[in-house]
Amino acid sequence: MKRNGTSSSTPLNGQAMNGVSLNGNPMNGKHMNGNGLNGHHHDELIDEIGDEHGAASIDTPMRPDAFDLDDDTKIDLIEEHFREIMSILGLDLTDDSLKGSPRRVAKMYVKEIFRGLDPANKPAPTLFENKFRYNEMLVEKDILVQTYCEHHFVPIIGKAHVAYISSGKVIGLSKLNRIVEYYSKRPQVQERLTVQIADELKKVLETEDVAVIIDAKHLCVSTRGVHDVNSSTITAAYGGKFDEEATRQELLRYIGTSNVTI
């Protein structure tokens, strides 16, 4: 790609803006204006919503046509748009280090960090009969959580503790990790992630006796905004017997946070 004959050579200003279409949106703009929160005077409100990290619904908000495009098409389109974002920032996309970034980011979004948006990637539950008649609490603790704040698109990293009391079905232990991972690979708010994991476990295990606790650090809190590197956020969803104080205390003892009031 030629640079219109300019002699500019610094990586930050050498990228010509022409050739990057700002209105050539392949989705024809029809899905890009849904919330009406455009314009500078809404910036403050948008910042406030983001920093409060409120979620509007338990289901991840998706459009009905979310999967009309296949993954390869999505990667191509995101690559194009991310190139545009980098270009608007003034970065030189002909630079050897930068030129592959739009495609890398696009593949990472679709195939890795947001792959949990697609129900086709949902782990199939492997259930076993509870042959040992083990009907005490089972706790899988310290499951790695790596998800992404839907308000800032930066990571939320922490751990999940998942517990259930068998109703006759037992799930493979690794499936607990897989379920946590699946719902994590989405733009998320921590409260919704916690409830989505709990709801899935209730459905799969056919019991209300499920608990999910997540303790995580938000990079949007530590690396920007208030720059609080020490705080973490704890969320919990308790169902069935976990609503009872004794059962809940037993769980908290197992995971070693019995001194925390949740």
- Nearest alpha carbon to residue 156 among 101, 193, 122, 126: 193
- Say how many residues touch Zn ion, by CB under 5 A: 4
Residue 152 assigned ligand-binding role: yes
Whose Cβ is closer to Zn ion: residue 116's or residue 155's?
Answer: 155
**Token code pair at residue 70:** 């296949």
Catalytic residue among 15, 188, 190, 196: 190
For the chain, give me the number of helices (H) and strands (E)? 7, 7
- Reduced DSSP (H G I as helix, E B as strand, rest coil) percent helix, strand, coil of the chain, to 5: 35, 20, 45
CB of 124 to Zn ion, least distance (A): 32
Residue 42 assigned ligand-binding role: no
Residue 41 assigned ligand-binding role: no
CB of 219 to Zn ion, least distance (A): 8
Q: Is 16 in the site for Zn ion (CB under 5 A)?
A: no
Site string for Zn ion, 216-235 (x = CB under 5 A): ----x---------------
- Nearest alpha carbon to residue 108 among 71, 68, 60: 71
- Burial class from Cβ neighbours inside 10 Å (0-12, 13-18, 19+) for residue 71 reads middle
Annotated active-site residue 152? The verdict is yes
DSSP 14-67: ---STTS-SS--TTTTTTTTSS---SGGGHHHHHHHHHHT--S-SS----TTTT
Annotated active-site residue 188? The verdict is no
Catalytic residue among 84, 152, 188, 200: 152
Q: How far is CA 141 from the centre of its chain?
A: 20
Q: Which residues, 232 to 261, sit near Zn ion by CB under 5 A?
A: none
**Amino acid at position 49, single letter:** I
Catalytic residue among 150, 161, 188, 196: 150
Tell me the C-alpha distance between 139 and 163, whole Å. Answer: 4
Binding residue for Zn ion (CB under 5 A) from 78, 91, 113, 152? Answer: 152
Catalytic residue among 15, 140, 149, 196: 149
Tokens 């708010």 -> residue: 189
Annotated active-site residue 151? The verdict is yes
Q: Which residues, 112 to 151, sit near Zn ion by CB under 5 A?
A: 149, 151
Annotated active-site residue 190? The verdict is yes
Q: Which residues are annotated as catalytic?
A: 149-152, 190, 218, 220
Binding-site residue positions for Zn(2+): 149, 152, 220
Contacts with Zn ion by CB under 5 A lie at 149, 151-152, 220
Binding-site residue positions: 149, 152, 220
